[in-house]
Structure 1
Amino acid sequence: MFTRRAFVLSTLALAACTAEAQVRPVPRGADPGLVPQRTANWLAWVEGYKPRARSAGIDAGVIDRAFARAGYLAGVVERDRNQTEFKRSFEDYLQLVASEERVRLGREAFARQRSKLEAIEARHGVPAEVVAAIWGVESRYGERRGDIGVVSATSTLAYDGRRGSFFEKQLTAALRILQRGDTTPDRLVGSWAGAMGHTQFIPTSYQAYAVDFDGDGRRDIWSDDPSDALASTAAYLERSGWRRGERWGGETGSGGLQPDPGGPRFATGRNFGVIKRYNNSDSYALAVGYLSDRIAGAGPLEASFGPDRYGLTLAERQELQRRLGAAGFDAGKPDGVIGTGTREAIEAAQRSLGVAVTGDPSPALLRALGG
């Protein structure tokens, strides 16, 4: 029986844990919002969740080990609540996930993993270059797999997020991964929203589709060896209805899908819709298809995008970023994508020039900076 005395003692224990966590030093260079904090309210939520996890078949020992070093992540909640509603153009999206650099890296990664990718294609029927393209879009070929504890992230969002029920399901699925022995609590890491490994599976998708391609008894999508992750992605697409021998689509001169007014048009087939099962976005599926073609040796798009809504082409936006940097206003990498850093640099330049501070690029600003 849970008596009042037991409640008081447990509350004191929670407070002690909270105080200890709050004075723990933050590692050098770490984002304080992503350092787990064992706050009283989060700990109380965890205690309420544990019986639900046990009723779902998770062993008590697995639960205790999973939460031993987990905690509330304020930075995850901030990211969840401040996701931008700004919709990027397809041209910008391609520059971010399928740039010439991403193509070059993709061809190099494909060459390194060719035998595995071809074996995966033979088993699951999904072209090796399509699997490689998803790998490139999701984690830059394994470079950006995420290092945030999945138990901390999903429990934080289940307790204090906008979609508590969804993230509690992800948390329970994450505990099932630990119970099965596919990885350990310390290696169960991913993005701030709990997406994991080389191809960013959420825990429930992992449970449904992940495979042990290398035969070591574990479905290890976190390892430096991407074999299980790439095969799991192919299995996902196969079970989602991928048709062997059919293309996803391709660039066309007329008709079809045109994501940016005046830009390239694309014919799409059934397998385009299968890619969207991985991420339900036209831009995502087009980028994966385009990148897969480029990895396989195809050239750039034939049609141009033309000037953007500010009257600047991609080359002019890149030149603007270079000139901002040369003038002492850090606009970051000159990729032609006008994001937060570039807008801040533009605002600083506009203030120094004594013109209206809008943060918007323009032909006039390009000329004023030396054009």
Structure 2
Amino acid sequence: MLDRRNLMIGAAATLISAGTLISTPAFADAGFQQWIRDFRSVAAKNGVSTQIYDRAFANVKTPDSEVLRKARFQPEFKDQAWQYIDSRVNERTVANGQAMARKYKRLLDQIESRMGVSRNIVLAIWSMESSYGEALKDPERLHYVPRALATLAYADRRRAKFARSQLISALKIVQNGNVPLNGLTGSWAGAMGHTQFIPTSYQAFAVDGDGDGRADIWNSIPDALYTAANLLRKNGWQSGQTWGYEVSLPEGRKFPGGSLSLAKWEQMGLRRPNGKPFPAPSRNAELKVLQGRDGPAFLMVKNFYVIKRYNNADKYALGVGLLADQIAGFGPPSKDWTRPYTRISVAEAEELQLRLQRSGFYDGAIDGKPGPQTRSAIKAFQSRYGLAQDGYPSLEVLSALRRR
């Protein structure tokens, strides 16, 4: 009923992108406020106190436009594999992970002992989700969760059902005393804390890791890391096992989809680049080639799919696995990704952003993480000087900026 009424707004609404409904500014406040009033009874029927609900929305007057903008861009599905991996697995994220491994050694020892989950996997997830907590210090990346989820429930048809259930769970987290309303912050989709749990996942997996009686994934690193490990453990993490193996592919042969034993893959000519045999050759694995034969190839075993319970994207799970291995001291894949440009380091990416800023093309953060804003600035620079407008943060672009 609620969704149908909102869809009947008609002339007061504009469709942008598949399945997304956004009200015009003249109607937004009234329509959104009506949705909040109507959902109050739904929340109450699902166990949310009306007092908590009213407090949660007392100062919420309009949808969060940034939530809707971010909902249209999800790098797991839009970035090329090499773009996604390069921005998340690099010299800085590895060095920071190794520093965190030293700093939190005692905590990570306990997590491995009690949960059976690799410390390096937990650290990699922490990096991927919040840059080891740094993202929680950036107000531009944080959203008030009730407003964010109400925005999606009201204005995004594809995510409305998800957002309604998450909103109810988020308010119950407050109601249960785990976090005050003013601390209920998260991503555009309601993912919260150091290790970015959506409310229903928090309810299912949250752990009080520091023994203070609350599972505070926003402020307690022990709680956040224990909670991440608990999700993996409860979804079947195989202790002491890897997530997958890099393999080289024999030329001129096609391979079947699906899961086969490692022994069977070896019979078809797949080999580990280091020449070592596959441990437990009877274990099943699936071949993943995210860039075809132009990039590295991997045989993925059970733990890869457990990581995907955190985020159901191959690029995400591969990023976690590769970063975990490098934090542990192993090198990158022996076969690199094929990129249409020369890759630069994080320090060089910061220099590129700074030079773009000084030239008037860029006003974002100097963080060495070239995202959409950096790529748009690169295209503007390339357009100004008659260069191919590919937007890549490349050595070629940095060299051109140095010459200007």
Task: Give the alignment's TM-score, normalised by structure 1.
Answer: 0.78
- For the pair 1:114 / 2:145, whether they are aligned, the reply is no
2:330 alignment partner in structure 1: 298
Letter in 2 for 1:62: I
CA distance in 2, matches of 1:179, 1:167: 18
CA distance in 1, matches of 2:191, 2:228: 13
85, 92, 95: which is aligned to 1:94? 85
Contact 2:349–2:368, Cα closer than 8 Å, also in 1? no
Q: How far does the alpha carbon of each residue in 1:299-323 deviate from its partner, in whole angstroms, 9 at most, with x for none? A: 23322223x2x4x232499979967
Contact 2:132–2:194, Cα closer than 8 Å, also in 1? yes
CA distance in 2, matches of 1:179, 1:336: 37
Contact 1:249–1:267, Cα closer than 8 Å, also in 2? yes
Unaligned runs of 5+ in 1: 1-37
**How do 1:1-371 residues align onto structure 2 when only pairs under 5 Å count?**
39-80=29-70, 82-83=72-73, 87-145=78-136, 146-162=141-157, 163-223=159-219, 225-254=220-249, 255=270, 256-261=287-292, 262-306=294-338, 308=339, 310=340, 312-315=341-344, 325=355, 328=359, 330=361, 339-352=372-385, 355=386, 358-359=389-390
| CA positional deviation for 1:246 | 1.2
Determine helix, strand or coil for the equivalent of 1:69: coil
Question: CA 1:68–1:335 in structure 2 vs 1: closer, same or farther (change >3 Å)?
Answer: closer
CA distance in 2, matches of 1:363, 1:203: 42
CA-atom RMSD, angstroms?
A: 3.1
| CA positional deviation for 1:221 | 0.5
CA distance in 1, matches of 2:345, 2:211: 51
Of 211-220 and 38-47, the range deviating more from structure 2: 38-47
Give the count of matched residue pairs: 328
Contact 2:87–2:369, Cα closer than 8 Å, also in 1? no
1:26 alignment partner in structure 2: none
CA distance in 2, matches of 1:288, 1:216: 30
CA distance in 1, matches of 2:104, 2:395: 44
Contact 2:243–2:301, Cα closer than 8 Å, also in 1? yes
Unaligned runs of 5+ in 2: 1-27, 250-269, 271-286
Letter in 1 for 2:229: A
Determine helix, strand or coil for the equivalent of 1:144: helix
Task: Give the alignment's TM-score, normalised by structure 2.
Answer: 0.72
CA distance in 1, matches of 2:92, 2:396: 29
CA distance in 1, matches of 2:322, 2:197: 22
Between the two proteins, what is the percent identity of the paired residues?
Answer: 38
Question: CA 1:124–1:50 in structure 2 vs 1: closer, same or farther (change >3 Å)?
Answer: same
Question: CA 1:319–1:198 in structure 2 vs 1: closer, same or farther (change >3 Å)?
Answer: closer
CA distance in 2, matches of 1:339, 1:144: 17
